[in-house]
Structure formats: C-alpha cells, structure tokens
C-alpha cells in the first residue's frame, strides 16, 4: 500500500527537479571569472603600496605599473 502512495506522489508532480548541470556549470564559471577579474582589477587599479594587502611592499605596484598607465589608472 505504501508503494502505491509513493507512485501516486510521483505521478502528481511531487518530485523535486534539480537544476540542469549545464546551468550549474555556467553559473560556476561566471562566478570564478568574476572573482578573478575583481582580483586583477584590485591589483592593477588600487594596489598602491601604502594600501596594499601585502603591507608597504611596492613589488606588485611596480610589476603592473605600465599596465596601470595603459588602462588609464593614475598612480603618481
């Protein structure tokens, strides 16, 4: 008798549909790409040495110095 109620629940649409795996994969790729772009934007646009996440070290600033000017970020 319990198997009959289980089958009727499935027939009446009481099952939970999972998201399509391609939708989940695309959402994951979009999230990772956005996170990496924001990290790159921080290091190129805002890492000045004085407000650096690495302290007063200016190695990152000097490494991306020409890219900063190419993208229009002032730094001095």
Q: Would the pTM count as exceeding 0.85?
A: no
Average pLDDT for 53-57: 68
Q: Is residue 59 part of a domain?
A: yes
Average pLDDT for 45-67: 70
Residue 15 has pLDDT above 70, yes or no: yes
Q: Is residue 16 part of a domain?
A: no
Overall domain count for the chain: 1
Q: Is residue 4 part of a domain?
A: no
Q: Is residue 46 part of a domain?
A: yes
Residue 43 has pLDDT above 70, yes or no: yes
For residue 50, give its domain range. Answer: 22-71
Q: Is residue 17 part of a domain?
A: no
Average pLDDT, the chain: 74
Confidence of residue 33 (pLDDT cuts 50, 70, 90): very high
Q: Is residue 9 part of a domain?
A: no
Alpha carbons 50 and 57: distance in angstroms, whole number: 8
Q: Is residue 40 part of a domain?
A: yes
Q: Is residue 12 part of a domain?
A: no
């Amino acid at each position: 008798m319990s198997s009959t109620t289980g089958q009727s629940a499935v027939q009446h649409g009481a099952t939970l549909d999972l998201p399509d795996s391609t939708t989940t994969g695309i959402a994951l790729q979009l999230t990772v790409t956005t996170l990496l772009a924001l990290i790159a934007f921080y290091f190129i646009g805002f890492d000045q040495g004085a407000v650096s996440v690495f302290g007063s070290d200016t190695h990152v600033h000097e490494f991306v110095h020409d890219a900063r000017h190419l993208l229009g970020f002032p730094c001095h």
